[in-house]
Amino acid sequence: MANDDPMMASVAGRYASALYDLATEQNQVKVVEQAMTRLQAMLAGSADLYKMVRSPIISADEQGKALDAVMAANGVDGLTANFVRLIARNRRLFVLPEMIKNFHKLVAQGRGEMQAEVASAVPLNDAQMQQLKDTLRASVGKDVAITSTVDPGLLGGLVVKIGSRMIDSSLRTKLNSLKIAMKEVG
């Protein structure tokens, strides 16, 4: 059976789909989703961990041992830990961040939600996240699952990607637009 989904054409998409299918079969989707969110936060919060995962120089065995220690310290176990060990053995850790994103997309699709990626200059609190979800739900007519990242380079505001649309209300973009407009005048 052919699949026209571009996500499935990638290594990250196929691995994420396999994990999603396995988590669904074992009624572990919520547990795996929470663990994948923790993994995503760990990768985003540690440049050293991110470099280790992406490094072709570090052996699969060394990567596996390092990740076992990090996962144990952060409560990532069971199906998710086994998945990470498998991709380490198969030398596919370099696409772990993309696998996590694809897994979240599959979970959102399974719930009938749309996936939104939000970048902000500072972490959003729970009230801000809820207000953003409500605003996006009103805009697209569906529930929205949000994956949030922090990008201090934005200075302020948000960049929201939902489906094929991107809404850039960041201060950096507004300042760049103003700079261009000033150059045209002067």
Q: What number does CATH give the domain 113-185? A: 3.40.30
Q: Using CA atoms, how far apart are residues 20 and 83, in angstroms rounded to an integer?
A: 11
Residue 3: half-sphere exposure toward Cβ, Cα within 13 Å: 9
Distances (CA, A) of 82 to 33, 72, 97: 14, 12, 16
Q: Please say whether the structural domain 6-106 has been given the CATH code 1.10.10.10.
A: no
Establish whether domains 6-106 and 113-185 are of one fold.
no
The pLDDT of residue 182 is above 60: yes
Of 77, 125, 109, nearest in space to 13 by CA: 109
pLDDT in tens, 140-172: 888 888 888 888 887 888 888 887 788 888 777
The pLDDT of residue 21 is above 90: yes
Q: In the prediction, which pLDDT does 6 show?
A: 59
- Percent residues over pLDDT 90 in the chain: 33
Q: In the prediction, which pLDDT does 159 show?
A: 87
| 150: β partners | 120
Domain boundaries in the chain?
6-106, 113-185
- Can you tell me the mean pLDDT for 17-43? 93
Q: In the prediction, which pLDDT does 2 show?
A: 42
- Can you tell me the mean pLDDT for 112-134? 87
Q: In the prediction, which pLDDT does 148 show?
A: 83
The pLDDT of residue 4 is above 60: no
Q: In the prediction, which pLDDT does 108 show?
A: 86
Of 147, 138, 158, 78, nearest in space to 106 by CA: 147
pLDDT in tens, 71-94: 999 888 899 999 999 999 999 999
**Average pLDDT along the chain:** 86
- Can you tell me the mean pLDDT for 4-25? 84
